[in-house]
């Protein structure tokens, strides 16, 4: 965990760099596809970063990387969400492998489904989560409900489904920690 935090602090410093692919990755980040990147920390370590929309390709690339290499966690630089089923596939892998998750800036919609799967779920003090009901409430609600129960947060999911899909329930790091969605705030 300490190594993951060291890597994360290095990424926070990198977010000021001009990006080549995602919005918040450095020029040196290696684009893996699916808005996933490999960043290198100052001490030479590598870590996986999600920077952008979650697509089926995101899930495919994530699964391939995790099966081929030891990955301790996923840093979420920023994501507006995306494909719900792809997010659930990633989340279930994170939970099964007991990986950590960290949000640097923003994690919206289906991205939160990934974040909550982490063993340690950390947020920077400026990070925000954005939740709402799904576009297709009837089908997605049952899928989401089961998933969030698996992740251990059924009441958060119920609250999110009270928010229309064209609005957001914004949860800052402090509130996320109070609700135990985040396990730690990095300052």
Domain at 98, CATH number: 3.90.226.10
Question: 129 or 25, which is more confident?
Answer: 129
136-155 per-position pLDDT tens digit:
766 677 888 899 999 999 89
Q: Are 102 and 76 in contact (CB under 8 A)?
A: yes
Whole-number pLDDT of residue 129: 98
If DSSP codes are grouped into helix, strand and coil, which group holds residue 29? coil
Following DSSP, what letter does each residue of 33-67 receive, concatenated? Answer: ETTEEEEE-TTS-EEEEEES-B-HHHHHHHHHHHH
Query: Is residue 30 predicted with pLDDT exceeding 70?
Result: yes
Mean pLDDT of the chain: 87
Whole-number pLDDT of residue 180: 96
Split into its structural domains, the chain has a count of 1
Provide, rounded to the nearest whole percent, the portion of the chain with pLDDT above 70: 87
Alpha carbon distance 60, 64 (integer Å): 6
Alpha carbon distance 177, 128 (integer Å): 11
Name beta bridge partners: 170: 130
Give the mean pLDDT of 76-98: 96
For residues 140, 142, 145, 146, the Cα torsion angle rounded to the nearest 10 degrees is: -120
Alpha carbon distance 132, 155 (integer Å): 13
Structure tokens at 150: 């698996």
Query: Is residue 7 predicted with pLDDT exceeding 60?
Result: no
Straight-line distance from the first to the last Cα atom of the chain, in angstroms, rounded to the nearest whole number: 16
- Among 50, 121, 59, CA closest to 84: 59
Alpha carbon distance 35, 47 (integer Å): 14
How buried is residue 135: exposed, middle or buried, by Cβ count under 10 Å (0-12/13-18/19+)? Answer: exposed
72-85 per-position pLDDT tens digit:
899 999 999 999 99
- DSSP strand E in 24-183: where? 30-33, 36-40, 46-51, 73-79, 100-108, 121-124, 128-131, 169-172
Whole-number pLDDT of residue 139: 66
Q: How many contiguous H segments (helices) and E segments (strands) does the chain have? A: 7, 9
Query: Is residue 133 predicted with pLDDT exceeding 90?
Result: no
Ranges 11-15, 63-67, 79-83: which has the least confidence: 11-15
Whole-number pLDDT of residue 108: 96
Give the mean pLDDT of 86-100: 97
Whole-number pLDDT of residue 66: 94
Structural domain range at position 153: 2-186
Alpha carbon distance 101, 113 (integer Å): 11
Query: Is residue 90 predicted with pLDDT exceeding 50?
Result: yes
């Amino acid at each position: 965990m300490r190594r993951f935090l060291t890597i994360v602090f290095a990424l926070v410093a990198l977010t000021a760099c001009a990006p080549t692919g995602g919005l918040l990755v450095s020029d040196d980040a290696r684009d893996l596809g699916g808005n996933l990147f490999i960043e290198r920390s100052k001490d030479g370590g590598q870590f996986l970063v999600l920077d952008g929309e979650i697509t089926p390709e995101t899930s495919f690339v994530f699964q391939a990387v995790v099966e081929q290499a030891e990955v301790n966690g996923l840093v979420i630089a920023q994501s507006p969400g995306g494909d719900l089923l792809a997010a659930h596939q990633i989340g279930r892998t994170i939970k099964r492998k007991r990986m950590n998750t960290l949000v640097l800036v923003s994690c919206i919609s289906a991205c939160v489904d990934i974040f909550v799967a982490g063993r340690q779920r950390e947020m920077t003090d400026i990070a925000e989560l954005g939740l709402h009901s799904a576009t297709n409430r009837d089908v997605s609600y049952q899928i989401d409900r089961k998933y969030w129960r698996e992740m251990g947060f059924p009441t958060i999911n119920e609250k999110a489904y009270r928010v229309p899909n064209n609005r957001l329930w914004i949860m800052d790091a402090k509130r996320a920690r109070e609700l135990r969605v985040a396990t730690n705030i990095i300052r």
